[in-house]
A and B are shown apart, each in its own frame.
Chain A
């Protein structure tokens, strides 16, 4: 956990001249912004890729979230994930569309998976990624099923989708592990900013 002194500050300079509000970005803010930028870029590129089956996507932007949760903890990962969904949807023009809600539900499910991972002893990028991928798929599927396509046979699609989530979760976990090695982060929560 970070100390309060590192948090961003808002100074209101009302003493002289026109009122000016100065927002200072803390080091943590800047770090999160960096990761969000990376994740949004990946999100946008991936949105343009064709998918063999609706709902089947590698979810490469999650690599960033996985790396962040292992290196900086759940709070940073929640920020990166939420901002990525928001900024990514604004960029590709899907804000508040069904795509956006599916994306948001998926991100929430993935974070739930990550919350479980951070409570397990010594879960690394691979474990976090697999749990996030499964959580992502389940949450997204539930929204798609209950809200958009409430067909009684839709759960028959779930097994292949979960299989895909498992495979992509492993792949993303491996990539996140390589990324963390390059970032020189050796153990969870011990990253240098």
Chain B
């Protein structure tokens, strides 16, 4: 291995290490939660105070809990409770989907674009 190789290895290691700091750091925190019911926007609230939102869906009522900086689905009808077990959502782009009740909670940040595109 030449000295150039050693330097390349060193620089790459530093670059990889700093990518953890840059991409896993505090950036990308969400500041707004949007609740969708059956494809239409039911509520869009800032993540600033404690409150809860109740959304009616075809299977019953889903309760969304908002806290400063985070949100979660506290309870929702549905056999598997996937959206409840998703836990707290805090980063822009995070989402919880309660499919049986057709309720979706997404977290938006300032630099948000899409959550997914299917084609």
Contact = CB atoms under 8 A, between A and B. Distances in A.
Interface of A: 117, 120-127, 130-131, 134, 149-153, 155-156, 158-159, 162-163, 166, 169-170, 173, 177
Interface string B39-83: 000000000000000000000000000000000000000000000
Interface string B7-49: 1110011011001100110001000000000000000000000
Interface string B106-119: 00010111111100
Contacts of B114: 150-152
B23 A151 contact: no
Given A126-B1, A127-B1, A127-B2, 15 more contacts: A123-B2, A123-B4, A126-B8, A127-B5, A130-B5, A150-B114, A150-B117, A152-B28, A152-B113, A152-B114, A152-B115, A153-B91, A159-B16, A159-B24, A166-B12
A153 B108 CA distance: 11
Contact of B8 (A117, A155, A158): A117
Interface of B: 1-5, 7-9, 12-13, 15-16, 19-20, 23-24, 28, 91-94, 109, 111-117
Contacts, number: 79
A152 B4 contact: no
A117 B28 CA distance: 34
B113 A150 contact: yes
